[in-house]
Amino acid sequence: MKQLLIRPEIWEFSDFHTFAEAFEIGADDLILTNEYIYRPVIETERLKSSVIFQEKYGQGEPTDEMAQALLEEVQKRDCSRIIAIGGGTIIDLAKALVLKGQDTIDQMYAHMADLKKNQTLVIVPTTCGTGSEVTNIAILNRLALGTKQGLVSEAMYADAAVLIPEFLESLPYKVFATSSIDALVHAAESYLSPKATPFTEMYSKQAVEMILRGYGKIAAYGTDVWKEEKEAYLRASTYAGIAFSNSGCAAVHAMSYAFGGKYHVPHGESNYQFFTAVLRMYQTKKPKGKIAVFDRMVREILCREGFAGEETKEDGISLLEELLQNVLARRPMSDYGAQREDLDVFAQSTVKNQQRLLANNYAELTQEEIREIYRRCL
């Protein structure tokens, strides 16, 4: 049985200048980024590469229409390497832009097995949550379907993933919070997945511990201290990415797509909606399995870090919920506009469109149980 696959090469530099020199960025390169990232850090290097600002092709999380517009633009450019510098939107779009074999995004979804890589891809994440720099999947909102779906191909692995903590310096706190919670979800779901191996579990557990240790400091000293741990958060996100690229994500992600797609909720924030509610349902369905091990692991970490005393009667998931509230208060789905009428639609959409993810559930969830989780989060 295959235990672990790690792609691509992983590099780390303290700053963008050192990276640009080491990778010899030049005229044959195309940088895909956002203007607010480019102006303060990248522009000062006076590189000869061409640049595309993603926001000129659409706002918010990536859609199939946004990806199609960018694809048509990139096809006009003469570049041998695409360097994606940004968060999850930039990274997911870049993975689609390096593909060949199909002319449209819709055709790519229909013929994923036939996709090939057209350019070298380098990914530089500027948040600490996506983990997508080490995965072969892009999530796009397929507007005609009314939900987000994964585009998956071996050709979508980057050739290099580059971690540069300098980019986290200007990250707004809420973006840090939602992206790092996303990384925590990646770590938890990959750990609980039936496809997990001792090797993927090693990465999952290390990511959980690093993120919770940082969150403990936020709970103790306030939100301003998060940047003291920026290197750890960035590495933890990549560790979690390695884990879930092998063992997969599950119901939390599956449920987030219908909700996030309709109400345009950022990915990490959407995952946060359902994270502990899914864990609670797992406890109800299959209490004596790996969920109990995960619960003990979380409890031990939080007691060791001083968030709770050893004498506490609370279980690990209860402590986790309290800790997350210290990091970012979770808002109910109704705050985003969701209504009771959405529950059946979301549950049906999840079961119909997200079987790739639901196959990785720790415990099988029926459509009615998925609806119940949505109801609890409304």
pLDDT range class, residue 196, cuts 50, 70, 90: very high
Average pLDDT over residues 25-50: 96
Domains delineated in the chain: 9-167 (3.40.50.1970), 172-377 (1.20.1090.10)
Per-residue burial over 320-354, b = 16 or more CB atoms within 10 Å of its CB, e = otherwise: bbebbeebbebeebeebebeeebbeebbebbbebb
Look at residue 308 in the predicted model and tell me its pLDDT.
Answer: 85
Look at residue 8 in the predicted model and tell me its pLDDT.
Answer: 96
Task: Judge whether residue 241 has pLDDT over 90.
Answer: yes
Look at residue 146 in the predicted model and tell me its pLDDT.
Answer: 82
List the alpha helices (DSSP H) in 75-147: 88-97, 105-110
- pTM, entire model: 0.94
pLDDT range class, residue 349, cuts 50, 70, 90: very high
Average pLDDT over residues 25-53: 97
Look at residue 144 in the predicted model and tell me its pLDDT.
Answer: 86
pLDDT in tens, 218-237: 999 999 999 999 999 999 99
Which amino acid would we find at residue 174?
Answer: K
pLDDT range class, residue 105, cuts 50, 70, 90: very high
Look at residue 242 in the predicted model and tell me its pLDDT.
Answer: 98
Beta-strand pair 81-86/29-33: parallel
Task: Judge whether residue 101 has pLDDT over 90.
Answer: no
What is the average pLDDT value for the chain, to the nearest integer? 96
Among residues 209, 92, 206, 94, the alpha carbon closest in space to that of 141 is found at: 92
pLDDT range class, residue 14, cuts 50, 70, 90: very high
Token readout for 246 is 């092998």
Task: Judge whether residue 257 has pLDDT over 90.
Answer: yes
Look at residue 60 in the predicted model and tell me its pLDDT.
Answer: 87
Whole-angstrom distance, CA of residue 258 vs CA of residue 348: 9
Look at residue 103 in the predicted model and tell me its pLDDT.
Answer: 86
Among residues 144, 45, 141, the alpha carbon closest in space to that of 85 is found at: 45
pLDDT in tens, 275-320: 999 999 999 999 999 999 999 999 999 999 999 887 888 999 999 9
Question: Residue 229 CB: number of other CB atoms within 10 A?
Answer: 20
Among residues 270, 269, 274, the alpha carbon closest in space to that of 327 is found at: 269
- 120-125: strand order across its sheet: 9-12, 160-163, 120-125, 81-86, 29-33, 50-53
Average pLDDT over residues 58-76: 93
